[in-house]
Structure 1
């Protein structure tokens, strides 16, 4: 018998049996029934599958989520099994793994009995964290009662099956991206700080203001507190005026100190801050603020300053960054880190601080080099300029000032010579340049002209001899000048002059102004023949105005326009004395000169002169060297001015100015500026010096003479003081009728 496929034969009968699903395309209709029913795997097989999968799985009880089972992948990933997991669940969650908001939201969702997912970080056995996405699915227990039977409360799941999806790579990627973003933010912040510091340093001098602004910028951006201290014979705040400073030189002053009981000298530990100042270290130094340092050390001084000035509650340490100059450390930058930084400085912050310190050091060093050159040139130049001239029979006023915008010093100069009893020489000149070389050339030229003027007298021949000598001396700078002599002729004077490439002198008579253009010639040293001499007879009331080009030269006009403007101003002056004329010229033309300015005003007195108060500025100014002789010069200037202005109480004014100038010479530095003003109801005296410290009234110096100066000023005048660009101005207005002190 042939068996037919798809059938079985039993007991002589044929039964239809289920056929296998066709494999491949069907070739025709099939009459055999087809079924897709597949018998599900057994529970044992499912358990073995969960155990074998490489994805960590665990089962936990509902409610407290206590783990009751975990597969091998879970144990391999975490380093502990289900029992270990239950043990760890009894311990507090580590701080780094806590996500209070996420866990609260997770428990709320689980209470609904619905599948849910959460982002968690689970501690491993080695202490590291396993960042994962945790998927919860409810597992119901078999129950005879349907969960949705009417009238019965809904039951939640008894267990949760939990799958742990590894998120380490994603978290690592996110952390890298966050780190890159943070690094870029820090870099942008650092660049921004450097740019702002560069802007602040654009016009820095040796003043304190830009350094204070930089310290404020650092406090706003990267540290809790910051301050600069300069190393001038010892550390001091940038605006300090006290002479109580720690020593900063090398040697035993910082290496040893006396024992508290007065015993032998002990060797102090190495002072790290002093090593910075000495150049033995070049990286920032951490300064512990709770340590005791030797009292003679720079560290001790800095710790006291930080405690006094920082205003930061309980910092543990500060960091000291050297501010290097070209040849030495010229100061330090001291900072206190922010509390959130744990008392440390980030590497990026340290880099910013070091860059700022280097820039500040370079700019300060340049400013100091320039300032030293400027002071040297100014001292050299002023030492060669005569003081306010006193000439019998003539009213003479002189003035010199360097460029007010850039404080440059150049070769402008003037000279007033009493050649003979009835012969006066007046010279004004200008050497090209604004530096020490120009000032030195001016000094040489001034000495040559002065020597020949006393010997020859006539201006033209004097300049001929000057040409010869200057050509042999090879003075490196070109120069121009006007040399004139005035010879007394009773009440009149005969003016003779010769010009060597310089602007003409202005002559004023009866309000008419003329330029003395005659006797012109080339610059000094370039004359190759005879130089001419011109003459003019001066009458009582005539005025001569000698000046350098700084009085009239401006960027927005040519020199001829400047001379015309000067002529118009001179013609309108109403003052009847040379000082009043000069002050009015300066007030209208020299408020902001673009070059050095030297002016000499000579007036032939007129017996018919009548004082005219209020019609012109009544101000006098003198620049005095910081030396004892300046006190006498100031007293003489005040007495002469009071007599010229017909002011009473000249003796009181003389005493007040004596005390103010003496204080400026003793306690200030730099040149002393004296200015006198007629206020209409009295005399106002102003004395300026380079020390910004205010004057102090004392009860005298115990054990020695002196110390009563400001008490004398208080008896005779109303006084006060104010800060200035150079330092300070002390002013006093003399009280009319005040009685001078009779004793001390």
Structure 2
């Protein structure tokens, strides 16, 4: 019965004595190791069968089966290999149990299975897991790159961050060479270089590159003209041509480190924008097909962002040019002082519908306007021009209160224009040349004007509020714009502004208004130009366009027939670049009414 069990059990079984010699084996054991009973009996189990994963003999001291004789305790494992009769290695999973008779074990029974199928499955699972981990890491890299690429509209800043992100995960150094406006006829420039711990060398490698040539065999030229990745290894570098572009690319390896590299083109369907070079130094493994695909995808994403940024900058420049042309010179009226500023948004790099205006009406009255049309693009700038010109036409020869002008403008916008909603303040300055002066205004949903006396007392003028332009007639609300009047002290300053000066995502509107009131009161003793510069510097607007229009009144009686003329400014508004970002726009008196002649 015991022999039948020994021979029939579904596992290989060997019995060894205290010297490690095989004293018994069953048919399953003989089948697994591919040896006959005669070959096994009397043989040393360790010398005959035990091998490492490479087929080498293992030290007897490291044999866990023989160690059972010393410990007297069972042992098991799955990392051992037996040498088959045909010379192949058989991975086994085993258990060894001592057979004790007296004080110590006289024999050990080894039960084992062929572990190849399980080991293959395990290795395959591990390989799959490793592949998934690698894929996850690559997807994470691509996702991180995608977030980075949309983090800023500044192309140079984005590309500099991109090469830093690629090192060291995908290489030991990285470089981006850019073609201006995607034109291969223009001079290529190296705009981004990153090599950890060598900032000075990286910076020195930036700058213009030799001209591209379709006949060049340089890796950079081949990648640009073929729109395909080019692999570079030690052999390729040694056989590189001696044309200027190849030598310029060779400098990267000489200064940043020799090794293997891949040059991937940065292109879209609309053209080529440059190339990304990523390299590994020393003996690091060459780039795999999967890594080249990842780098190619990153390069294409970068090219899309570059193209969009360039298109956006072109549109922005067009809108800014349009807006600059529409911000006309301020009037020169007796002893009144005017100054204005316009600054496009800095963070979003967008031009919006903000505008200011000041002009003389047919009856000689000075009027002032500040407004903001909804939107931030070229269309918003065009709508701003449309609304501005409609307001000028409606106000020019009508001796009507501002509320009537505002109601007519709302009706005209609704019925003859596709301009969207807008906010605005329209004001008239009434009074004789020497004063007293009154501000007569109406407000269509715009931040209130700020009045600052010469002594530094500042307060907002909250009256005259009505609905936004483009809503009342369109929605048949039946609302009105009430007229407001305020006597203006001599030498006082009235400030009109758009909401970009006082609003931001990080603070409440009331906080911005209070800051503006405080700073204006503190700076009112300055010249009007310096006042506006100081306000912009202290308020630090960045999230939206900003338009500013300031009026300063003369001293009481100044400008009347018996008054004295104020000092003349050194420059005329006709020679000022009006409406450029941060530019000064000033109206200065050119008529001295103190001399009847």
Say if 1:172 and 1:472 are closer, same or farther in 2 by CA, change over 3 A: closer
Q: Which residue of 2 aligns with 1:359?
A: 301
The question of 1:600 aligning with 2:549 is answered yes
- Larger RCO (CA under 8 A, 6+ residues apart): 2
Per the TM alignment, residue 378 of structure 1 is displaced from its structure 2 partner at its CA by 2.8
CA distance in 1 between counterparts of 2:287 and 2:479 reads 75
The question of 1:187 aligning with 2:109 is answered no
The question of 1:205 aligning with 2:153 is answered yes
Q: Which residue of 1 aligns with 2:270?
A: 327
Unmatched 5+ stretches in structure 1: 1-45, 68-73, 75-94, 136-163, 256-267, 610-628, 638-669, 676-744
Please list the CA deviations of residues 565-610 of structure 1 after superposition, one character each: whole Å capped at 9, or x if unmatched.
Answer: 755665666525434544555466x33465432221211133899x
CA distance in 1 between counterparts of 2:318 and 2:312 reads 10
Structure 1, 203-212 or 598-607: larger mean CA deviation: 203-212
The question of 1:517 aligning with 2:463 is answered yes
CA distance in 1 between counterparts of 2:507 and 2:166 reads 45
Per the TM alignment, residue 175 of structure 1 is displaced from its structure 2 partner at its CA by 3.7
Native 8 Å contact 1:492 1:538 kept in 2: no
Alignment of structure 1 residues 120-139 onto 2, 5 Å: 130=89
Native 8 Å contact 2:188 2:211 kept in 1: yes
2:449 maps to which of 480, 488, 505: 505
The alignment's TM-score, normalised by the length of structure 2, stands at 0.63
Alignment of structure 1 residues 186-585 onto 2, 5 Å: 186-232=134-180, 233-239=186-192, 244-247=208-211, 253-255=213-215, 273-274=220-221, 276-278=223-225, 280-283=226-229, 285-286=231-232, 288-293=236-241, 295=243, 301-308=248-255, 311-312=256-257, 314-315=258-259, 317-325=260-268, 327-337=270-280, 339-342=282-285, 344-386=286-328, 392-417=334-359, 424-450=366-392, 460=402, 470=413, 473-486=416-429, 489-492=432-435, 494-495=437-438, 497-499=440-442, 501-503=444-446, 504-509=448-453, 511=457, 513=459, 515=461, 517-518=463-464, 523=469, 538-553=488-503, 570=520, 574-583=524-533, 585=535
Per the TM alignment, residue 536 of structure 1 is displaced from its structure 2 partner at its CA by 5.5
CA distance in 2 between counterparts of 1:561 and 1:208 reads 35
Please list the CA deviations of residues 177-227 of structure 1 after superposition, one character each: whole Å capped at 9, or x if unmatched.
Answer: 442343233233323323433443351333434434443333222323323
CA distance in 2 between counterparts of 1:228 and 1:182 reads 31
Unmatched 5+ stretches in structure 2: 1-22, 71-76, 95-111, 181-185, 194-202, 559-571, 585-597
Please list the CA deviations of residues 140-163 of structure 1 after superposition, one character each: whole Å capped at 9, or x if unmatched.
Answer: xxxxxxxxxxxxxxxxxxxxxxxx
The question of 1:591 aligning with 2:540 is answered yes
Per the TM alignment, residue 537 of structure 1 is displaced from its structure 2 partner at its CA by 5.5
Per the TM alignment, residue 474 of structure 1 is displaced from its structure 2 partner at its CA by 1.6
Please list the CA deviations of residues 669-710 of structure 1 after superposition, one character each: whole Å capped at 9, or x if unmatched.
Answer: x977579xxxxxxxxxxxxxxxxxxxxxxxxxxxxxxxxxxx
Q: Which residue of 1 aligns with 2:109?
A: none
Say if 1:497 and 1:98 are closer, same or farther in 2 by CA, change over 3 A: farther
Secondary structure of 2:300 counterpart = helix
CA distance in 2 between counterparts of 1:129 and 1:223 reads 40
CA distance in 2 between counterparts of 1:175 and 1:521 reads 73
The alignment's TM-score, normalised by the length of structure 1, stands at 0.52
Please list the CA deviations of residues 84-143 of structure 1 after superposition, one character each: whole Å capped at 9, or x if unmatched.
Answer: xxxxxxxxxxx994859x459579999xx99xx995698999xx97456799xxxxxxxx
Native 8 Å contact 2:155 2:306 kept in 1: no
Native 8 Å contact 1:459 1:483 kept in 2: no
Say if 1:431 and 1:320 are closer, same or farther in 2 by CA, change over 3 A: same
Greater Rg over alpha carbons, structure: 1
Alignment of structure 1 residues 22-171 onto 2, 5 Å: 55-56=34-35, 97=54, 102=58, 119=80, 130=89, 169=117
What is the alpha-carbon root mean square deviation over aligned residues? Answer: 5.5
Please list the CA deviations of residues 29-85 of structure 1 after superposition, one character each: whole Å capped at 9, or x if unmatched.
Answer: xxxxxxxxxxxxxxxxx9xx99xx6624779xx9xx999xxxxxx9xxxxxxxxxxx
Native 8 Å contact 1:204 1:364 kept in 2: no
Native 8 Å contact 1:225 1:336 kept in 2: yes
CA distance in 1 between counterparts of 2:547 and 2:581 reads 18
Secondary structure of 1:412 counterpart = strand
